[in-house]
């Protein structure tokens, strides 16, 4: 069997269940379309970073910044989901910069010297877009007093709520999902501002996949958007459509990093 991994939006629990339902449809449709070795279930054991470059990859979802930094030429873009959560704009999305609910900050400038949280340095939403927002305010490569790496957006939210950090940038899809299915987790935070938008998290396949196979994957993803039996799963996921974006469409994410570096702000710091 080949590898399928769709682990980017797998919590709170209703999202994992909806993703399993979505893959059940996709798996059967891909087999009907003539693809072989299509797995009946998603891989939930392999770290999603490892899935991206597996030679047996059939379908996975990556982040836009890792794509432009490390994956170009090694994988093929299939399609980018169009989500309906606030902050999304077609296949593009932004991050919400969040602070403690009782924070006195009225603007990002008010957070100079504060403690920041990022999910991981390679994240577009949690780090690259955040860096782009902070870079014009930085001095000698710094803006915050300290930065902690939490491992996930939900952990960054929890760190603010627990008083371990003062600010983080949260992917608007994640924020919308938590607001719908675990609103208590957001009780301790509020949105201060928004980052610029950029292309969202693309579905990818292995780099040597044929154009015909990529075409089949795109066709089946569009079938999933029209399938009546998936209406509830699409609603849970906030999934409205899929858009086919090019490598050029993702280049602005790399440009954001270059702009920050030109301002002497190479990392959230």
How many CA atoms does the CB half-sphere of 126 hold within 13 Å? 24
Q: Which of 71, 39, 69, 37 is nearest to 54 (CA)?
A: 71
- CATH 3.40.190.10 domain position(s) in the chain: 3-89+199-254, 93-197
Reported as a pLDDT band with limits 50, 70 and 90, residue 47 is confident
DSSP 208: T
217-251 pLDDT, tens digit per residue, is: 999 999 999 999 999 999 999 999 999 999 999 99
**Arithmetic mean of pLDDT, 150-179:** 97
Which CATH number is 93-197 given?
3.40.190.10
- pLDDT at residue 160 is higher than 90: yes
Give residue 48's pLDDT.
Answer: 84
73-121 pLDDT, tens digit per residue, is: 999 999 999 999 999 999 999 999 999 999 999 999 999 999 999 999 9
Reported as a pLDDT band with limits 50, 70 and 90, residue 142 is very high
> Within 10 A of 184 (CB to CB), how many other CB atoms are there?
8
Give residue 221's pLDDT.
Answer: 98
Give the domain 3-89+199-254 fold: D-Maltodextrin-Binding Protein; domain 2 (3.40.190)
Scored b (16 or more CB within 10 A) or e, 159-177 reads bbbeeebbbbbbbbbbbbb
The per-type count for the chain, helices as H runs and strands as E runs, is: 9, 13
């Amino acid at each position: 069997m080949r590898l399928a991994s769709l682990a980017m939006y797998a919590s709170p629990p209703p999202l994992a269940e909806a993703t399993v339902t979505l893959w059940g449809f996709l798996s059967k449709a891909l087999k009907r379309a003539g693809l072989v070795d299509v797995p009946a279930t998603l891989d939930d054991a392999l770290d999603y970073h490892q899935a991206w470059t597996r030679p047996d990859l059939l379908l996975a979802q990556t982040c836009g910044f890792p794509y432009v930094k490390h994956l170009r030429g090694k994988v093929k873009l299939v399609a980018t989901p169009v989500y309906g959560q606030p902050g999304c704009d077609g296949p593009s999305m932004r991050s919400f910069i969040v602070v403690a609910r009782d924070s006195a900050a009225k603007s990002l400038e008010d957070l100079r010297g504060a403690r920041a949280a990022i999910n991981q340095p390679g994240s577009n939403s949690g780090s690259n877009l955040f860096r782009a927002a902070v870079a014009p305010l930085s001095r000698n490569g710094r803006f915050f007093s300290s930065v902690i790496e939490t491992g996930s957006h939900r952990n960054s939210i929890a760190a603010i709520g627990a008083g371990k950090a003062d600010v983080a940038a949260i992917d608007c899809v994640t924020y919308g999902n938590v607001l719908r299915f675990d609103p208590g987790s957001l009780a301790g935070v509020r949105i201060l501002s928004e980052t610029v938008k950029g292309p969202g998290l693309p579905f990818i396949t292995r780099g040597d996949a044929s154009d015909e196979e990529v075409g089949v994957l795109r066709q089946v993803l569009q079938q999933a958007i029209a399938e009546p039996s998936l209406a509830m799963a699409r609603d849970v996921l906030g999934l409205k459509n899929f858009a086919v974006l090019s490598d050029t469409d993702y280049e602005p994410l790399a440009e954001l990093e270059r702009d920050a570096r030109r301002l002497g702000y190479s990392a959230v710091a």
